[in-house]
Amino acid sequence: MAKLYFYYSSMNAGKSTTLLQSSYNYRERGMNTLVLTPELDNRVEVGTVSSRIGLTAEATTFTTADNLLAIVEDSVADQPLHCLLIDEAQFLVREQVQQLGNIADDLGIPVLCYGLRTDFQGQLFEGSQHLLAWADNLVEIKTICHCGSKATMVLRLDGQGRVVKQGAQIKIGGNESYQAVCRKHFKLGMATRDHAELPFDDAPDPHHKHEQDQDQDQPA
């Protein structure tokens, strides 16, 4: 039985790299994949999935108005499809997550979604909220905070590297706009006075090494 997977993380954990590797693994075995990416993600080039380590692949773009089931059915009409992969899945809407469930259940095609869990205010994105509820398998892709602890949150920064606390949930950006942090440093960053610089210079948490020793999963 095909399943719906949600691979979630903070920023800079290697989500796109993992997606591209998964697609390559299928194609290396002679299987067909379809990669979808939001049209609004124009950090590199619209219609391209790009990783920080230089891997890229062409992708089909979608908007929140698109029926993803219909897109896949059109693709299957041309050739067999063995896996559907979604980049930046946090930008999906509720109906699209349901459509992905139908693709797995009714068409028998595995669906692999990769995205952020929460936004810069610690709130769930719509797509992530419904994937957490509907996915068969939830997989955390780990990365680390500057202090060495596991990063689970993200802070938005302005052009001077200062914490932004208010604004639209969706703002496309990369390392210049977002910083992956642990919960402790997320709270410290959000608790600073308006436009205060994030305290990145504090000493590493002496307990984080013990935490890592207890956690057998290595950060991505």
Token representation of residue 137: 């398998």
Beta bridge partners of 156: 164, 178
Phi and psi dihedrals of 102, rounded to 5?
A: -70, -35
Active-site residue, 73 included? no
DSSP state of 203: P
Q: What angle do CA 118, 122, 128 make, to 5 degrees?
A: 20
Residue type, 1: M
Distance, first Cα to last Cα, the chain? 28
Which of 60, 107, 63 has its CA nearest to residue 83? 107
Catalytic hit among 28, 58, 73, 88: 88
Placement of tokens 């402790």 in the chain: 184
Q: Give burial (CB, 10 Å; 0-12/13-18/19+) of 48.
A: middle
Q: Which residues are catalytic?
A: 88
